[in-house]
Chain A
Amino acid sequence: MNGMSLHKKLEENSALLIFGILFVSSIGGLVQVLPSLYQESLRTASVNTRPYDAVELTGRDIYIREGCSVCHSQQIRPIIAEVERYGPYSRAGEFVYDRPFMWGSKRTGPDLHRIGGKYSDDWHYIHLIDPRSVVPASIMPGYPWLAKRDVKTTDIQRKMRALKTLGHPYEEADIENSPSALEGLKEIDALIRYLQMMGTSFVEAEEEVQS
């Protein structure tokens, strides 16, 4: 019985064909994806990496809602030019509280992983509302509505509880106080808080080692 006559069985039996496709297509996932889900180094937080607080988490969810990751990556590759341009390259341990990951696939605008602390809050505020007032050649959209909308305080506890069940180490007191932490904030304020903390945990850790 040669290969082709063996194959004749497959192509005359739909159940065998379905099984064959399932078997052949699952090998890659089982060998490549499944082991990385159990790799400890990919789920161990870097020294100073902590879960997002209520305001930062709210800011991050606004970043997700507005599709910022379509044009901005959060992933500095270990290449000299990138480290010079953006700062220390990204480590897996810095992202263990990122659900979902926001590494992106396109840089229409610059990478933002180490944007935290590079510009003032006021700069971000003006830039988000009208990017061309500070960067004349910018093609980024403006986000004027973020300055008008109040931050939603009703979901935050449910969000933090959901993340806690996934293993984010939130204290019960933090969850209890989260709505009051958001009180009076506009959406733009939360987004700026998120931008300002982004990528800062690694730099702090480095300084700690040096001192």
Chain B
Amino acid sequence: MATEQQYYYDDVVKRLVQFSVIWAVVAMAVGVYLAAELVWPTIDFGQPWLSFGRLRPLHTNGIIFGFGVSALMATGFYSVQRTCHVPLFAPRLAWFLCYGWQLLVFLGGISLLAGWNTSKEYAELEWPFDIAITVLWVCFAIVFFGTIAIRKIKPIYISNWFYGALIIVVAIVHIVNNLAIPVTFSKSYSLYAGAQDAIVQWWYGHNAVGFLLTGGFLGMMYYFLPKQAGKPIWSYKLSVVAFWAFTYSYIWAGPHHLHYNAIPEWVQSLGMVMSLVLLAPSWATMVNGIMTVSGAWEKLRTDPALKFIVLSLAFYGLATFEGPMMAIRSVNVVSHFTDWTIGHVHSGALGWNAMITYGTFYFLVPRLVGTELYSVKLANMHFWLALAGTMLYIVSMWAAGVSQGLLWLSLDSTGELSYSFRDIMASMAPYYGLRFIAGLIFLAGTLLMAYNFYMTTRSRETVKVKPPAVDPAFGVAS
């Protein structure tokens, strides 16, 4: 299909970036509204579709599948063309995927507001959407692996392994976890029940985090960080070892979401041990990224894009340290069911996923239209808003979570509970207030970025870029 195309297909990349930014704004705004509902519980005005339980899955699905996956498709298509020295395989399919995916997120979001909800976290969409996701995901795989198959460069660059692992593993866990018997168009019953359903769900839930929010975004890091730093990846060997260790060990870690729950103890213990093992490949990758920037530190003063990416690595290190710690049963007994979990998720989602995506987009957007960023000053403001918002968010949720966890467990000298649930809940009000402000700050930064991109790209055509000549030392014999 793509035989005689001379230029990279960057129009579809640009469109996916635009959709990703739109979903970021929408889903984060929903998040801020949810935070406000926990402070002022009556602002749902008695409307079912504004109710916390229906909006919350819209927030998480909007971020993961709208913002996150659109960003991964955009950056994946951009980098796979450049690392393979060929335009996209099956470009029409890529366009179909681009719009099909947005339609899916849009209609899926409406279905969540209507109360179509499987209640399995990050897999809330009902069966018709699950089938649509599967079909679109196959399109993603065809375009991505097809491009690798027609590559002109013999070695497959490391970023592509991570995008590849994302496509393969997410497909498997999505299909297995969503197996269900449909009853009506909007309702199905899971093929698994009770404890077994829980084990399957968290095998999915943890690896959606693992291979999508961690692995996929590591693919982004491996291409865009060296590009921006102007240096090759620090250690190629380390990246190889870390990739396989990551792919092997992540899949085991799910049961740490079910510590002390009614599942077999050997499953919990295995999940805990493998979560601790996971620290090694996670930090190996972080060190590899930080060392790549080392020697180009002076660029941090002038380049907002690089600033975002370096900061995202710091939060990546923080979250991948915190995760294994929370997977230890004796820590988990305090943290489980508390706002600490919410803080942990957001140190990953805001500090790592959003920041690395913002950094990558600040790099990508001006290049796609062949101009300078509209305002570096606004981008720098965005950086500080993002940092302040993330810090305030996770610190307030740590404080809330740790105190919740300890107060729930607290017994007085006679062995009676020290505090009622109601009193502990009521004491959360200041933390929830701070979290709402933190979310607002972060959202404000994202809005600045959206405006900056609009001004950068408006009435500009996508630059046409030709694949460069292939170095014969690495070329594929044709």
**Residues of A near any B CB (own CB < 8 A):** 4, 7-8, 11-12, 14, 17-18, 20-22, 24-29, 32-33, 36-37, 39, 41-43, 61, 64-71, 73, 75, 77-82, 84-85, 90-92, 94-111, 131-132, 135, 137-145, 155, 158-159, 162-163, 165-166
Q: Which residues of A contact B250 (CB under 8 A)?
A: 25, 28
A36 and B189 contact, Cβ closer than 8 Å, known pairs A27-B251, A143-B51: no
The 3 closest A-B pairs by CB, nearest first: A67-B53, A95-B194, A28-B251
Instruction: Please indicate the chain A residues that have their CB under 8 angstroms from the CB of B258 in the complex.
Output: 103
CB-defined contacts of A26 to chain B, threshold 8 Å? 172, 251
Give Cα distance in the complex from A138 to B420, angstroms. Answer: 13
Q: Chain B contact residues (Cβ within 8 angstroms of A): what range? A: 35 or more
CB of B262 within 8 A of CB of A90, answer yes
Chain B residues with CB under 8 Å of A65's CB are 115-117
> Given A17, A36, A100, which contacts B264 in the complex, CB threshold below 8 Å?
A36
Chain A residues whose CB sits within 8 angstroms of the CB of B161 once the complex forms = 11, 17, 21
Query: Roughly how many angstroms separate A96 CA and B192 CA in the complex, as a whole number?
Result: 9
Binds A, one of B297-305, B336-344, B378-386: B336-344
- Select one of A4, A22, A36, A39 contacting B168, CB under 8 A: A22
Contact A25 B120 (CB under 8 A): no
Q: Tell me if A140 and B194 are in contact (CB < 8 A).
A: no
Q: Contacting B164 at CB < 8 Å: which of A12, A18, A28, A96?
A: A18
Instruction: Find the residue from B57, B262, B274, B409 having the highest chain A CB count within 10 A.
Output: B262
Give the nearest-CB partner of B407 in chain A: A81
B333 and A66 contacting across the interface, CB-CB below 8 Å = no
B195 adjacent to A66 (CB under 8 Å): no
Complex CA–CA separation, A82 to B1 (angstroms): 62
Residues of A within 8 A of B410 (CB): 81
Which of B15-23, B37-45, B465-473 lies at the binding interface? B37-45
A166-B193 in contact (CB<8A) = yes
Within 8 A of A (CB), among B268-285: 270-271, 274
Chain B residues near A82: list those with CB within 8 A: 408
Q: Complex formed: what's the CA distance from A141 to B339 in Å?
A: 18
Question: CB-CB < 8 A to B411: which residues of A?
Answer: 80-81, 84
